Structure 1
Amino acid sequence: MVMPEQARIAQRFGDAAHAYDAEALAQRHSAAALLTGIRAKGRALDVGCGTGWLAGQLAAQPEVTEVLALDIARPMLQSAVRMHPSLRCIQADAAAMPVASGSIDLLVSNFALQWLSSPDRFASELYRVLAAQGCFRLAVPVAGTLGELSAAWERVEENPPINRFLSSGAWAETLLRHNLKIQTQAVTPLFQYYPTVRELLRAFKRIGANETLSPRRSGMWGKGKLQALESAMEPYRTPAGLPLRYDVLLITGYKP
């Protein structure tokens, strides 16, 4: 039986919870950037909280009264509450949040929303749960992410097994369509480097992100294809190694 998409994503990230923090260096860098300049007050919600680093940082701010940590993967939430016992953890999909309407003063999300099957549903939920003048700050990988890996795969086969990412413009349009106001937005490239393609792919698996590589396509990692991918990636090698690229949209706004 084929597992539903969101359940499959939850399982992959749940399996990766124990190794996530050690491997997710770009994700941690993005979370730190997301926090820059935030003066959180009242009730905060971290959507796709993972192991809880970002939510824990918010909980330490003096004017924050409560932090809700929401994730689709239970093992991630278990890790989050072990590290930060004050968090109120919620296992749920970002597109259907069991959170009271108008109850959130600040909503943040880092490296989670690219997994949504319906960004419109999330934008609707974002508007619903925010209080009037409630703020949001989102860090989302957008088009351009995995650019080198995708280009290398296109040399191996016609339809590369890499999921597509929405553009930054599409994200902004979605939020505006749901009556949210945007204050700032910028796209920043983040890189991690690996000595070999095998190490790059192993790192993806260790953080649960191999769903991006459409693993349900059987036979994609055959020896011949892997060797072809290694050859196709070599032109992108830098002194630091083979690049894994994330183009991250950091977008800030509020509910009027």
Structure 2
Amino acid sequence: MTDQALAGLPDKRQVAASFSRAADSYDSVAALQRHVGGELLARLPAELALRRWLDLGCGTGHFSRVLSQRFAGAEGVALDIAEGMLRHARPLGGARQFVAGDAERLPLREASCELLFSSLALQWCADFPAVLGEAERVLRPGGVLAFSSLCVGTLQELRDSWQAVDGLVHVNRFRRFEDYQALCAASGLQLLTLERQAEVLHFPDLRSLTHELKALGAHNLNPGRPGGLTGRARIRALVEAYERFREPLGLPATYQVVYGVLRKEPS
């Protein structure tokens, strides 16, 4: 099965460079990322016993440190495509190894882990079937892939506001939830749970939202995005368009989060 979102996702070299630049600012604005990762941890099977786990897309290593505490005695590997994130994470510990690598071509042996944990990283992978295939290869029989990702509808308010201004691509594209359903079903892994949950953040103004996206390294990375500086008139028009969404708590920014837990069939 081909991944329908393949052509619309950013070049992974740009993703790596953007997140490397954001390594020092990421944790200061990562409240949603912490919440989503915690929700993913709560979805892990209760009976899971580990000798080795992989934090796939470890970022600054926050959840590597959480996993090392939860599964004391197990060997941890933290992997990320962004070298800057690994340089930030390595001195803080948590994993035994910190590895630069790609989720679509994992630098790990077959059947070497009981858990692949990946929170808010796989939305940047253009070839999701390859990610699932690598998970099946690397997991031991009975091992678990637990991931959170983002799907269509994420930052829809910002997307609609830009559409009203110039109709160009200013907001990152994401897969449809239905694509995650189809690809997981076709993966050869046993699907334990797959669900979508909306998380809404509120900001006092548009500048606060765009500052957070830049600090996370998750601002517009799409191919076909407009180049150059955005003029003042267009920014004013964008602010006016976004104000239509204002709620009592502020300007909403909706994230459509996908939670998936899959298991490799026991031998």
Shared topology, TM-score over 0.5?
A: yes
Residue 211 of structure 1: SS of its match in structure 2?
Answer: coil
Gaps of 5+ in 2: 1-9
Residue 195 of structure 2: which of 178, 186, 197 is its match? Answer: 186
Q: Is the 8 A contact 2:78 2:95 kept in 1?
A: no
Q: Is the 8 A contact 1:34 1:137 kept in 2?
A: yes
2:256 aligned residue: 247
Residue 67 of structure 1: which of 65, 70, 76 is its match? Answer: 76
Residue 206 of structure 2: which of 194, 197, 203 is its match? Answer: 197
Residue 236 of structure 1: SS of its match in structure 2?
Answer: coil
1:171 to 2:171 alignment: no
2:25 aligned residue: 19
Query: CA separation of 1:216/1:160 partners in 2, compared to 1, >3 Å: closer, same or farther?
Result: closer
Deviation at 1:123, TM superposition (A): 1.4
Query: CA separation of 1:254/1:124 partners in 2, compared to 1, >3 Å: closer, same or farther?
Result: same
Deviation at 1:182, TM superposition (A): 0.7
Residue 159 of structure 2: which of 137, 150, 157 is its match? Answer: 150
- Letter of the aligned partner of 1:136 in structure 2? L
**Distance in structure 2 (CA, Å) of the matches to 1:132 and 1:64:** 20
TM-score, normalising length from structure 2?
A: 0.89
Indicate the RMSD between aligned Cα atoms, in angstroms.
1.9
Query: CA separation of 1:164/1:26 partners in 2, compared to 1, >3 Å: closer, same or farther?
Result: same
Query: CA separation of 1:62/1:96 partners in 2, compared to 1, >3 Å: closer, same or farther?
Result: closer
Q: In the comparison of the two structures, how many residue pairs are matched?
A: 253
**What percentage of residue pairs aligned between the two structures are identical?**
32
1:134 aligned residue: 143
1:225 to 2:234 alignment: yes
1:52 aligned residue: 61
TM-score, normalising length from structure 1?
A: 0.92
Residue 88 of structure 1: which of 73, 97, 100 is its match? Answer: 97
Residue 9 of structure 1: which of 10, 15, 18 is its match? Answer: 15
**Distance in structure 1 (CA, Å) of the matches to 2:20 and 2:222:** 17
Residue 30 of structure 1: which of 27, 36, 59 is its match? Answer: 36
Query: CA separation of 1:115/1:33 partners in 2, compared to 1, >3 Å: closer, same or farther?
Result: same
Gaps of 5+ in 1: none
1:211 to 2:220 alignment: yes
Cα displacement string for residues 24-76 of structure 1 (whole angstroms, at most 9, x for unaligned residues)? 11111101111115355221111111011111111112455111111011121
1:119 aligned residue: 128
Q: Once structures 1 and 2 are overlaid, which stretch shifts more, 46-55 or 206-215?
A: 206-215
Query: CA separation of 1:244/1:220 partners in 2, compared to 1, >3 Å: closer, same or farther?
Result: farther
Q: Which runs of 4+ in 1 moved over 3 A?
A: 37-40, 211-216
2:106 aligned residue: 97
Q: Is the 8 A contact 1:17 1:51 kept in 2?
A: yes
Query: CA separation of 1:63/1:85 partners in 2, compared to 1, >3 Å: closer, same or farther?
Result: closer
- Letter of the aligned partner of 2:35 in structure 1? H
User: With CA pairs under 8 Å and 6+ residues apart, which has the higher RCO, 1 or 2?
Assistant: 2
Deviation at 1:214, TM superposition (A): 5.9
Q: Is the 8 A contact 1:180 1:255 kept in 2?
A: yes
